[in-house]
Structure 1
Amino acid sequence: MEKKGKRAVKEELYGIIETRNIEYVQYGVSLRFPTWYGSTAYFQQTTRHLGLRDSDGRRSAGDGIDEKPKSSRNVPESSDFWLETLCVCEYCFKYTDDPNELKKHSSQCRFRSKSPGRIQYRTPEISIRKVSGSRHPLFCQCLCLFTKLFLDNKSMYFKVDHYDFYIVYSNQTHKPMAFFSKDLTSFQKHNLACILTLPPYQRKGLGTLLMDFSYKLSIHDDIMSGPEQPLSPFGLAGYLKYWSTSICLQFLEGSLQGKSRVSLEDISKATGMRLGDILLTLRNLNCLSEKNEISLQELRLWMKHHRQHTHAFIDDDYLILDD
């Protein structure tokens, strides 16, 4: 009974489907890779043709590269997939089922040379741009649609006006590589709603970089914060690694170095982390004594084996945050 209940709830979430219904993504003109999850949000619900409606039944602004209804013509009749290949622009995330349309669009996409949003962080190699959902709704809608193909529980696509998107760009190619979204109306003041490193750019530390950047925003705003809860098992594992590294750095090299007594509030002020997340991390590190005193020896031991993760942290010298 419980399993059926969970499935029923899942089916009520717009766009979510139990199986993959798009087989491949043609990402730009040169990259092609399989999807991880399905999404009905790209399709008209009654015909399964590419071309979508929002949750109120209205045509979305992000209805494809050429703004024409799609036929989903590139899927064999015997296939279980609704579409064999979704062609997506790697600059603006507009989409089509026609490779020729994608090629034509990619050569003249307006974001090819000038990316949206304002730069908040810039190193010689990458930039993080703040893109407002209210100012760039089409771009953000298309990004959210694309994200659903690689995140199982993504269910927000169209109502992006109260979200900011922080996107990592390559300074050399102007291509987006990873992003997180932030809900501006969050009562709990979460610093992150959704995070994804795009498939071609994974295993480069970009997820850790964005986690660290989200806490730089929290510290800048003088609040204790963290990601929306509950985290998936994969998300929790990623955050525990980040939280552990962040806390260890503060004790061994940062503002908490050399202090004889440190409270949870001290750690929170240094890291921007919520007290509950700090306590969870310290217990996970096995560095709390029976008297709840922190063992620096355990922190040093953990850091010895995880030092490589620190290369992905934000360099404060390159921050350009809004006042």
Structure 2
Amino acid sequence: MEKQGKSIDKDQLYGILETRNVKYVQFGLEQRFPTWYGSTAYFQLSTRKLGLRDPDGRLPSRGSASSSGKKAKSFHTHPEVSEYWLDTLYVCEYCFKYTDVGKELQEHGTQCPYRFKTPGRIQYRSPELSIRKVSGSRHTLFCQCLCLFTKLFLDNKSMYFKVDHYDFYIVYDTGSKKPMAFFSKDLVSYQKNNLACILTLPPYQRRGLGTLLMDFSYKLSVRDGLISGPEQPLSPFGLVSYLKYWSTLVCFQVLEGELQGESRITAEDISKATGMRVSDVLLTLRSLECLTQNQEISLQILRQRFKNHKQYSHAFINKDLLILDN
């Protein structure tokens, strides 16, 4: 892509910044936490001030987190005085609309439509957790704001504007209207990836929500008759997370699933049972040191490893509670 004869840097295109430029996020009225990564996507680059238009370029709708009768003043100091472009970004915990004025967030929170009705359709519901599918083409502004927020907590490139060919699968506490974690899925992926981007929001980490969503993405693949996996390349942190999940998935199939009791299995057998790509199966088996010199799978080693590490008992989606649609 070119503009005025000059090539646009990819980092500029995706809003990537090497250093953090927003110090804190005020997420709703009760949650406040530091950002992890920098992003220029929220800002007007010429002034380094927060852009006060919605991410699609329209003026904010009435009641949005960015709307006010006059131009809002930013809390950040000039770039030469502070390393941060903005001290606090105020974000609605229901719809992810944003502002740099705390009072505006308070006013918006009382009338945010997503506080009363969550977007999308339920695809999974247990007594504890629910997963909803939200179409990027139908709920464009919501998904754009979600993607903008995500860029402050992921270190890899991530789209945030053209969301119309993505679906978003979002986890809620059953009965709650507050998103806790999500993954996006590219509907026109040439590689048929089952997941493009995944994030558990900072206030809801260490609850196993990432594993739940990974497993749900493979349930979608199995439903569609696909052997699939996440978009590549994975970030270092993403690879660690997936290896943990893949190991658990392989373990379950060998010890309690379709492959239970088999005297010999191949990577292709595991692929068919799990929906994982063969390359991901082999990567997982190498990380578990379960391949022999002849590249055969040592079931003795595999079973012994997970006999000592029973980590799979509550890691998966309950298939009986799926409410999948097309």
Partner of 1:186: 189
1:114 aligns with 2:114: no
SS in 1 for 2:142: helix
CA distance in 2, matches of 1:182, 1:298: 35
Q: Which of 219-228 and 312-321 deviates more? A: 312-321
CA distance in 1, matches of 2:137, 2:299: 46
CA distance in 2, matches of 1:248, 1:62: 49
1:55-70 equivalence runs, <5 A: 59-60=57-58, 65-67=65-67
Q: Which of 68-77 and 32-41 deviates more? A: 68-77
| Unaligned 5+ runs, structure 1 | 1-7
Deviation track 1:200-224 (CA, whole Å, cap 9, x = no partner) reads 0001111111111110111110010
Pairwise CA RMSD:
2.1
Partner of 1:27: 27
CA distance in 2, matches of 1:140, 1:61: 17
Query: Does the C-alpha gap of structure 1 residues 213 and 179 become closer, same or farther in structure 2, counting only changes over 3 Å?
Result: same
1:10 deviates by 5.5
Partner of 1:3: none
The answer on whether the counterparts of 2:248 and 2:311 sit within 8 Å (CA) in structure 1 is no
Q: Which of 70-79 and 170-179 deviates more? A: 70-79
Partner of 1:128: 131
Percent sequence identity is 68
Task: Report the residue type matching 1:45 in the other structure.
Answer: L
Query: Does the C-alpha gap of structure 1 residues 202 and 61 become closer, same or farther in structure 2, counting only changes over 3 Å?
Result: farther
Partner of 1:73: 74
Partner of 2:50: 50
Task: Report the residue type matching 1:237 in the other structure.
Answer: V
1:73 deviates by 2.0
The answer on whether the counterparts of 1:50 and 1:71 sit within 8 Å (CA) in structure 2 is no
The answer on whether the counterparts of 2:53 and 2:66 sit within 8 Å (CA) in structure 1 is no
1:61 deviates by 6.7
Deviation track 1:214-241 (CA, whole Å, cap 9, x = no partner) reads 1011111001000111111111111111
Q: How many residues align?
A: 314
CA distance in 2, matches of 1:115, 1:160: 18
Deviation track 1:82-117 (CA, whole Å, cap 9, x = no partner) reads 111000000000011111111111122111121101
Partner of 1:105: 108
Task: Report the residue type matching 2:166 in the other structure.
Answer: Y
| Unaligned 5+ runs, structure 2 | 1-7
Task: Report the residue type matching 1:291 in the other structure.
Answer: N
Structure 1 residue ranges (4+ consecutive) displaced by more than 4 angstroms after TM superposition: 52-55, 60-64, 68-72
Q: Which of 291-300 and 185-194 deviates more? A: 291-300
1:274 aligns with 2:277: yes
Deviation track 1:160-214 (CA, whole Å, cap 9, x = no partner) reads 0000001101114321100000111110000010000000000111111111111
SS in 2 for 1:86: strand
1:309 deviates by 4.6
SS in 1 for 2:32: strand
Query: Does the C-alpha gap of structure 1 residues 54 and 95 become closer, same or farther in structure 2, counting only changes over 3 Å?
Result: closer
1:169-208 equivalence runs, <5 A: 169-208=172-211
CA distance in 2, matches of 1:70, 1:302: 60
CA distance in 2, matches of 1:252, 1:28: 44
1:274-293 equivalence runs, <5 A: 274-293=277-296
CA distance in 1, matches of 2:235, 2:9: 17
SS in 2 for 1:167: strand
Task: Report the residue type matching 1:260 in the other structure.
Answer: S
TM-score (normalizing by structure 2): 0.90
Partner of 2:15: 15
TM-score (normalizing by structure 1): 0.91
Among residues 290, 298, 318, which one is paired with 1:295 in the alignment? 298
1:250 aligns with 2:253: yes
The answer on whether the counterparts of 2:26 and 2:32 sit within 8 Å (CA) in structure 1 is yes
CA distance in 2, matches of 1:170, 1:232: 28
Task: Report the residue type matching 2:121 in the other structure.
Answer: R
The answer on whether the counterparts of 1:144 and 1:157 sit within 8 Å (CA) in structure 2 is yes
> Which structure has the highest helix share of the two?
1
SS in 2 for 1:291: coil
